[in-house]
Structure 1
Amino acid sequence: MLRFWDGDLLAAGPLEEAFGDRAREDGPITRSIVAHWDRLGFYTGGEHERWTAAQWAEFLDDPTHEWPFAADERGAREPIFRLTIDLYRSQREPRRAEWAQIVQRLARAAGLAQTGGAACRWVAVRSRPCSVDLLANLIRLDGAWQPHPVHRHQHVGDEVCRIVADLGLIRTTRPARDASQAVPVPATPDPYRRR
């Protein structure tokens, strides 16, 4: 299930919701980060590996502070984009590397991670099982607003369907409610499982 949230001016609120209880921790929260803007390491020299939730918020808010009057084509000034991906109970939990792949594909489908030209800063946070939040600042480093792809919701929804098929996220067996009701169903081999 996909949830597109209303835009926000600053990232602290949406990040706090995404991180949950971990937002108040003083230490690094890198275990909750599954993917991020591909140029982050170039700008931070690897420091982001030790960032707290507050530092991740600063990272997302930097373009807003640098370009305070930037607005989208409708004049809106809430540059923080948030998308939540919740898997259904019938879907298996992706491994960490699969979550990274999922989020990178969704960031491209949403028009956040473009190859070539200027892209906007984004980060993906996983603080709950079977769920991940993708947050981005739609103001690019050049001060321009990241263009909205036509039919963004449809592009992202279509990509989700492809991801579910490509990664085999649909379970072939249903979890039994109790052992007496279990009915064996043959499972297909997982092509992504190490042998």
Structure 2
Amino acid sequence: MIPYIQEAEFSPSIPLTAALDHPIAEQDVLGDLVVASAPLDSSVAEGSSQEWMFADWEEYLLAPQSPHPYAAGPNANDPEIFHMTVRLHPADRELSTPEWAEIAQRLSRIAGLAPSGDEQACRWVALQARPGRLDAIANLIRGAGVWARQPYPLVRALMEECRRIEADLGLVPAQPQGGRPLTARLPPQRPALPRPVAGQAPPAAAAQLATLMCQLADENTGPIASVRGLVEQTAHQLEELPHSYGPEAGHRLEWIARRLYGIQQDLKVTAADLPGANQRAALTTRAPAAPHPAPARRSR
């Protein structure tokens, strides 16, 4: 399961339309596409949330801005409408509506939208309109007119909760171990293979080779990080193409990037098991060379 933070907006119509992935009229009923939402009160539209039209959900998410037009976020001009998505692995089983609802509620709590026992929580709604994907959209202005407090870094907090959800629901894990940096840096230089020295002791030779593996796996200057960064950037560009094949291909590339990250971790573990760790420490604790600037990309 992979979480994304999409670009914030001033209007909920944009993320709602993006979640549905097709044009929709204000009178269209979202029905069973809505798997969870914040508790509804008497101030909202009549009827069950399953009967609400697109316009009802749009009005529901905009409502906090009317009594609190000057509520400000961490930056004065921050958009109020928050949009996050999660995607399952292509090999995952099909989830039931209650399972999607559980995922939405757990991630909403982690994202600071609906802390347990908070009666002034944010208004939010979660839709499951695309295979293997969940969209949660919220207004970050709380009931009392105060901006929601979200954990920092938010993406890491969501990733950690996704790992727990994967374990609880028996889903395919996104990565074998550890946390994953947001983006691999580009582009490192190719490390050179160490040349064996005549009469060199086996532990010393092993230490040199282990140092090479650490260089290969290095997050700042390693070539695998460079490849992973290119794969990630290609995935992001594909996801934004206005064609059906783009998001699917981008999704596959995201999983390829995570497998590359797993290779980096395996190299580090293998290097740690070789003799000469003390000799290696002096080589691996030096500050990495500054990478070349990476192409600009949208924050996720």
- What TM bracket, shorter-length normalisation? 0.7 to 0.9
Alignment of 1:106-185 (within 5 A): 106-117=107-118, 118-170=120-172
Secondary structure at 1:66 match in 2: coil
Mapping of 1:58-137 within 5 angstroms? 58-117=59-118, 118-137=120-139
Report the CA distance shift for 1:58/1:25 in structure 2 as closer, same or farther (over 3 A): closer
Q: Secondary structure at the match of 2:129?
A: strand
Higher mean C-alpha displacement, 56-65 vs 17-26: 17-26
* 3-state DSSP of counterpart to 1:62: helix
Residue identity in the other structure for 2:150: H
Q: Do the aligned residues in 2 keep the contact of 1:111 with 1:147 (CA within 8 Å)?
A: yes
Q: Following TM superposition, by how much is the alpha carbon of 1:25 offset from its aligned partner in structure 2, in angstroms?
A: 6.5
Alpha-carbon distance between aligned partners in 2 of 1:28 and 1:82, rounded to the nearest angstrom: 20
Please give the TM-score of this superposition, normalised by the length of structure 2. Answer: 0.53
Cα distance change on mapping 1:24 and 1:155 into 2, 3 Å? same
**1:19 is the counterpart of 2:20:** yes
The alpha-carbon distance between structure 1 residues 154 and 109, as it changes in their structure 2 partners (threshold 3 A), is: same
Aligned residue identity for 2:80: P
1:149-189 C-alpha deviation (Å, 9 max, x unpaired): 22211111000011011001239xxxxxxxxxxxxxxxxxx
- Structure 1 residue 84: Cα displacement: 0.9
Residue 43 of structure 1 deviates from its aligned partner by 4.3
8 Å CA contact 1:41–1:48 kept in 2: the answer is no
- Max radius of gyration: which structure? 2
Q: Is the 8 A contact 1:93 1:169 kept in 2?
A: no
Can you list the C-alpha shifts for 1:67-87, whole angstroms capped at 9, x where unaligned? 222111222330100001111
Q: Can you give the 5+ residue segments of structure 1 that lack an aligned partner in the other structure?
A: 172-195
Q: How far off is 1:137 after superposition?
A: 0.3
User: What is the identity, as a one-letter code, of the residue corresponding to 1:40?
Assistant: L
Tell me: CA distance 1:127–1:97, structure 2 relative to 1, closer, same or farther (3 Å).
same
Query: Larger % of helix: which?
Result: 2
Map 1:12-51 onto structure 2 (within 5 A): 12-21=13-22, 23-24=24-25, 26-37=27-38, 39-41=39-41, 43-44=43-44, 46-51=47-52
CA contact 1:35–1:100 (8 Å) conserved in 2: yes
Equivalent pair of 1:123/1:135 in contact (CA under 8 Å): yes
Return the letter of the residue paired with 1:29: L
More strand by share: 1
Structure 2: gaps (5+ residues) = 174-300
The amino acid of 1:35's aligned partner reads A
**1:47 to partner: Cα distance:** 4.1
Structural RMSD (CA): 1.9
Structure with more relative contact order (C-alpha pairs < 8 Å, separation 6 or more): 1
Q: 1:33-89 CA distances to partner (integer Å, 9 max, x unpaired)?
A: 00000x215544644331111210110011123322211122233010000111111
